[in-house]
Structure 1
Amino acid sequence: MQLDIKLLSKNTIAIALLLFCFISNAQTLRKRTTMLMGGRFDITIVAKDSLSAEQNIDSVISEITRIENLISDWKPTSQVSEVNKNAGIRPVKVDPEVFQLTQRALHLSEITNGAFDISFAAMDKLWKFNGSMTEMPSAEAIQKSVEKVGYKNIILDSVQSTIFLKLKGMKIGFGALGEGYATDKCRNMMIAQGIKAGIVNATGDMSTWGMQPNGKPWNIGITNPFRPDKISKIIHLKQGAVTTSGSYEKFVVFDGKRYSHIINPSTGYPSTGLCSVTVLGPNAETANGLSTSIMVLGKKNGIELINKYPDYGFLMITDKGKIIKSKKFGSLKK
């Protein structure tokens, strides 16, 4: 009888140990949607339990809010707004984080000859993409709309950590580049805190890491620009970033030619030729800068640009529906 009790105890311990291992390895997926930085953020966290997942989503939201309060040009108390208020007056000291983000943006402006330019924020809202436009703006009006735009008039002082806009009326704004930066920061923060998987998605610009609770990679759908309610491609990511720039929601058509809401900041004219550009790579900030630049540069010059970044791949869809993709994109496709 004593032997039977001992065997029963060992079996109970074994079962308890198995249950503990199962519980300790169980993963819970939680998702939350919120509006930040002027757009929609979908935050997905995989953690050991619901409480931990929700707490980490709170941490992500707090980090995005912190970044928004630093760089959002529509926040009157942000450092970027202070820079804009003092355009043509004086340099403004900013945090190293804001200074370095501006440095990276200006580097992108230099290598794209102004196809990417954070001073686009000063551009007059001449083009309307709400269905109200009935004719092209005049060449004179378009030229006037970019008078205060020009990255070469953004002066950085790395010693003093200041930003100075030379012309009165100039403005800078990070837009989706800032959202991509925020998703990267949040992903790195979560990894540092031991969260093994998740997605931070800023209106389609997303940073991913880890795997789904079922052990499979994340499924990322690429919108069909001609049928926005349909998915054109599905890619599978473990850790990386994907961003899409496109004209499938906001565009106008004049004389049979499609004009995107993405404006060339150096000319004032909308981009043409490409309906969407998806870029894959290690981080969302760079991917967003590249996808936006390629939309402006067009197919040939866009491919030349992204070929300088071997860690990034692309998928372009032309306004004729033709798909052009890099080998790297193909290697990530199902």
Structure 2
Amino acid sequence: MKAHIVLFCSLFCMLSKGQVQEEVTVKRTLKLMGTRFEITVIAPNEDIGYLDIDEAVSEIKRIEKMISSWDEASETSLINKNAGVKPVKVSLELFRLIERCKKISEITDGAFDITYASMDKIWKFDGTMKKLPAKIYVQRSVENIGYEKIVLDTLEQTVYLKDTGMRIGFGAIGKGFAADKAKELMVSNQVKAGVINASGDLTTWGTKTSGEKWLIGIANPLSKDKVFSWLPIVESSVATSGNYEKFVMLNGERYSHIIDPRTGYPTKGINSVSVFAKNAELCDALATAVFIMGKDSGIHLINQIDGVEVVVVDSDNKVQKSSGIIFDKKQ
């Protein structure tokens, strides 16, 4: 679950007699892609700010229309409908996204995999599940998963899923991708600065009206209203995955809602992962991957990727981090 990133955007307005108001901070919160988006922009005035936000919202809705597996008319749904049947020609934008997804799957050894959508939903986290699923059902649930079974034809610009029961879904990367695209549009429209927060998948550009960096607060998984560290970011993104709200207790053991697509079983050992990088899309995907890989393997991977950092809170609520992270314990 992507959540619990605290964003502090201060509003500094220069108002005095005979002076025109200078830059203002304009913010709007709304539901998009089935989750909470908070869009903040720095603008010459409120009217322009709200127009800028409207354009960002339109861009996010456009992305949702393309990648939604719930919308039967989307390109993604068309790919899924033709699994095991025939290749589907798609837009270059979606083709490139799927290409990038496959590359992330390769470097994470399948911990991130958009074919996870093929998994049978045998784990329930709504309070109705009273016992562990039988091993045979868990094994069957992952039979159609495998990023290597996504066939991409660059010349024809087609996507083909080899097995009839296969499906792809962008739940672990879609909000980050949408945030990046909205930011890209805002920057091209000369919007000086802002933040797009997709329920924890967050990207920024520019600075606050005061010239200060945007401050990101990393929340304590066991006390979500408390921040254990502040991290200033500029022209950067962050995504957080956590297991503290959605889980099931069985036989005295806690099972996270984040399922390893390679095994069909919930992950263990981590409470939350926050990944920092230039793009929200990459942060989104790697946050999920590190959660599934585990703290040691996950941090080792991140330390090998230039421009990417991670903060991991393990199941004992101890903080682990990659080599480039420096905490500012600001109260």
TM-score, L = length of structure 2: 0.91
Aligned-residue offset at 1:230: 2.8
Q: Is the 8 A contact 1:240 1:281 kept in 2?
A: yes
Does 2:138 match 1:146? no
Instruction: Give the SS at the match of 1:73.
Output: coil
Distance 1:313 1:331 in 2: 12
Distance 1:158 1:190 in 2: 30
Aligned-residue offset at 1:181: 0.9
Aligned AA for 1:185? K
Partner of 2:180: 184
- Pick one of 10, 30, 40 that aligns with 1:34: 30
Does 2:64 match 1:64? no
Distance 2:17 2:166 in 1: 63
Q: Is the 8 A contact 1:149 1:266 kept in 2?
A: yes
Partner of 2:167: 171
Q: Is the 8 A contact 1:313 1:329 kept in 2?
A: yes
- Pick one of 50, 63, 67 that aligns with 2:46: 50
- Pick one of 20, 23, 39 that aligns with 2:20: 23
Listed one character per residue, the Cα deviations across residues 238-272 of structure 1 (whole Å, up to 9, x for unaligned) are 22001101101112234454322111101101111
Distance 2:163 2:136 in 1: 20
Q: How does 1:256-295 map to 2 (within 5 A)?
A: 256-295=252-291
Q: Is the 8 A contact 1:280 1:329 kept in 2?
A: no
Q: Is the 8 A contact 1:236 1:333 kept in 2?
A: no
Return 5+ residue gaps in structure 2 as ranges.
1-15
Q: Which moved more, 1:99-108 or 1:147-156?
A: 147-156
Aligned residues: 315
Partner of 1:215: 211
Aligned AA for 1:27? E
Distance 2:89 2:284 in 1: 26
Does 2:312 match 1:316? yes
User: Which has more radius of gyration?
Assistant: 1
Q: Which moved more, 1:83-92 or 1:320-329?
A: 320-329
Instruction: Give the SS at the match of 2:169.
Output: coil
Q: Is the 8 A contact 2:302 2:322 kept in 1?
A: no
Listed one character per residue, the Cα deviations across residues 222-244 of structure 1 (whole Å, up to 9, x for unaligned) are 22111223333222222200110
Give the ranges of 4+ consecutive aligned residues of structure 1 lying more than 6 Å apart after TM superposition. none
Distance 1:78 1:312 in 2: 32
Larger relative contact order (C-alpha < 8 A, sep ≥ 6)? 2
Partner of 2:235: 239
Kindly, what percent of the aligned residue pairs are identical? 45
Partner of 1:109: 105
Aligned AA for 1:206? L
Q: Is the 8 A contact 1:228 1:249 kept in 2?
A: no
Distance 1:129 1:262 in 2: 10
Aligned AA for 2:189? Q
Distance 2:313 2:254 in 1: 13
Return 5+ residue gaps in structure 1 as ranges.
1-17
Q: Is the 8 A contact 2:229 2:328 kept in 1?
A: no
TM-score, L = length of structure 1: 0.90
- Pick one of 189, 200, 204 that aligns with 1:204: 200
- Pick one of 237, 247, 253 that aligns with 1:251: 247
Distance 1:331 1:161 in 2: 44
Distance 2:204 2:135 in 1: 43
Instruction: Give the SS at the match of 1:53.
Output: helix
Q: How does 1:91-102 map to 2 (within 5 A)?
A: 91-102=87-98
Instruction: Give the SS at the match of 1:194.
Output: coil
Distance 2:329 2:71 in 1: 39
Summarize the Cα distance change of 1:332–1:92 in structure 2 as closer, same or farther, 3 Å threshold: farther
Instruction: Give the SS at the match of 2:65.
Output: helix
